[in-house]
Amino acid sequence: MASLLLTGIAELSTNDPARLEQGGVLGLVHDAAVVIEGHHVAWVGAAADAPAADAAVDLGGRAVLPGFVDSHSHLVFAGDRSAEFAARMAGESYSAGGIRTTVAATRAASDEQLLAHAAGLVAEMRRQGTTTVEIKSGYGLSVHDEARSLAVARRLTEETTFLGAHVVPPEHAGDPAAYVALVTGPMLEAAAPHARWIDAFCERGAFDADQARAVLEAGAAVGLRGRLHANQLGPGPGVQLACELGLVAVDHCTHLDAADVDALRDSGTIATLLPGVEFSTRQPYPDARALLDAGVQVALASDCNPGSCFTSSIPFCVALAVREMGMTPAEAVRAVTLGGARALAREDVGALVAGRRADLVVLDAPSHVHLAYRPGVPLVRDVYRAGVPQ
Q: Is 232 in the site for ligand NIG (CB under 6 A)?
A: yes
**Rounded Cα distance, 95 and 265, in Å:** 29
- 289 contacts 325 by C-beta, under 8 angstroms: yes
Known binding residue 303? Answer is: yes
Tell me whether residue 303 or residue 359 sits nearer to Fe ion (CB atom).
Answer: 303
Known binding residue 305? Answer is: yes
Among 201, 285, 310, 384, binds ligand NIG (CB under 6 A): 201
Residue ranges with strand state E in 223-348: 225-230, 249-252, 270-273, 298-300
Known binding residue 211? Answer is: no
> Residue 82: how many CB atoms within 10 A of its CB?
9
> By CB under 6 A, which span of 3-11, 106-114, 298-306, 375-383 interacts with ligand NIG?
298-306
Supply the DSSP string of 31-53, one letter for each residue: EEEEEEETTEEEEEEEGGGPPP-
From the list ligand NIG, Fe ion, none, which binds 243 (C-beta under 5 to 8 Å, kind-based)? none
Known binding residue 144? Answer is: no
Among 9, 10, 69, 99, binds ligand NIG (CB under 6 A): 99
Q: Within 165-194, which residues bind ligand NIG (CB under 6 A)?
A: none
Quote the least distance from Cβ 331 to ligand NIG, whole Å: 22
> By CB under 5 A, which span of 141-149, 242-250, 296-304, 315-323 interacts with Fe ion?
296-304
- 249 contacts 216 by C-beta, under 8 angstroms: no
Q: Is 357 in the site for ligand NIG (CB under 6 A)?
A: no
CA of residue 188 relative to chain centroid, distance: 23
Quote the least distance from Cβ 229 to ligand NIG, whole Å: 5
Among 84, 199, 303, 359, binds Fe ion (CB under 5 A): 303
Q: Is 285 in the site for ligand NIG (CB under 6 A)?
A: no
Known binding residue 71? Answer is: no
Known binding residue 74? Answer is: yes
Sheet holding 380-385, edge to edge: 40-46, 29-37, 3-12, 55-66, 360-363, 380-385, 388-389
Quote the least distance from Cβ 206 to Fe ion, whole Å: 11
Query: Nearest 5 degrees, angle CA 62-CA 63-CA 64?
Result: 120
Comparing CA positions, the residue from 4, 15, 24 lying closest to residue 64 is 15
From the list ligand NIG, Fe ion, none, which binds 35 (C-beta under 5 to 8 Å, kind-based)? none
Q: Is 159 in the site for Fe ion (CB under 5 A)?
A: no
Cα distance from N-terminal residue to C-terminal residue, the chain: 19
- 363 contacts 379 by C-beta, under 8 angstroms: yes
> Residue 355: how many CB atoms within 10 A of its CB?
10
Among 305, 311, 337, 367, binds ligand NIG (CB under 6 A): 305
Among 16, 260, 303, 331, binds ligand NIG (CB under 6 A): 303
> Residue 176: how many CB atoms within 10 A of its CB?
15
- Return the residue nearest ligand NIG (CB atom): 307
**Rounded Cα distance, 270 and 264, in Å:** 7
Quote the least distance from Cβ 233 to ligand NIG, whole Å: 8
Known binding residue 308? Answer is: yes
Residue 105's φ and ψ, nearest 5 degrees, are -70, -35
Known binding residue 117? Answer is: no
Binding-site sequence positions? 72, 74, 81, 139, 166, 229, 232, 303, 305, 307-308
Binding-site sequence positions for N-formimidoyl-L-glutamate? 139, 305, 307
**Contacting residues toward ligand NIG, per CB under 6 A:** 96, 98-99, 102, 201, 229, 232, 277, 303, 305-308
**Contacting residues toward Fe ion, per CB under 5 A:** 303
